[in-house]
Amino acid sequence: MQVKSVFDKEFEKYGKVIKADVPDLLKRLGETPLPENVVYVASSPELEECKEFSVIEDSIFGGMPIQIGYCNGNNTTLNAVEYHRNSEINIPLTGAVLLVGMQQDVEADFTYDTAKMEAFEAPAGCVVELYATTLHYAPCNLKEEGFRVAIILPRGTNTEAPALHGDTAEDRLMTARNKWLIAHEESGLGAEGAFVGLKGENLKL
C-alpha cells in the first residue's frame, strides 16, 4: 500500500496540517506507556495539564471544551473505521501512518469498500486535523518501535454511549459517545456488538 504524506495535496480532502508547536504536550506524551498492542485513553489528566491546553481549546476548537488523550502501541492493520461529528487532532510523538477514507463513500446500507482507503505519513510533532467526514481508526506503525499519538477531541467523545431513544438507521454504528464505527469481519469487533460493514481486504501496511 502506497504511503503518501499529510503534506501532499491528496491529503487535503481528509484534513490539514496545523502550524503549531506543542513541546510540553509532546514531552508529556513521551512519558505515556507504549504497549505491545494498542491502548487508547480518551482523557489523560497528565496530557491535559500541558502548557498548550488553552491554546488548543481556544484557537483550534474555538473555545469548545476538549479532552486530550492518547493512542499508543503497535498496529499495522485497518480492522475498522470510525467517524465523529467534528474534527479530530492527531499529534504523533515520533511519527505514525494514518489510514483514512471519506464518509461520503459509505453506502446507504453503511457498508464501505476498503479499497478506497489511503495511507498518509504524519511525521514527529506534526499537528494533524482530520475532518469530521474523514474515516479513520487506530494509527499504524511508521517505525518498528511503535507509535505514541496524542488524540484531541471534544470532551466526552469515545466515552460511554448515550441511551438511544429513536429509530435512526445510523444508530447501529454507534459504539460510544460521538463515535460511529464500521468494523471488518476479521477484526473480531463484531463479537463485541460492532456493526460489520467493511467490504474487501482488511488492509495491512
Report the CATH number at residue 67. 2.60.120.10
Domain contains 82: yes
Quick one: which H or E segment has residue 25? Answer: helix 23-29
pLDDT score of 12 more than 90:
yes
Angle at 192 between CA 109 and CA 40, to 5 degrees: 100
**Residue for cell digits 495539564?**
49
Specify the pTM: 0.96
Owning domain of residue 82: 3-199
Q: How many domains does the chain have?
A: 1
pLDDT at 64: 98
- pLDDT tens per residue, range 159-205: 999 999 878 999 999 999 999 999 999 999 999 999 999 999 999 99
Domain contains 70: yes
**Torsion angles phi and psi, residue 169, rounded to 5:** -55, -35
What letter represents residue 186's amino acid? E
Domain contains 180: yes
Domain contains 205: no
**Torsion angles phi and psi, residue 187, rounded to 5:** -75, -25
How many other CB atoms sit within 10 Å of the CB of residue 171?
Answer: 13
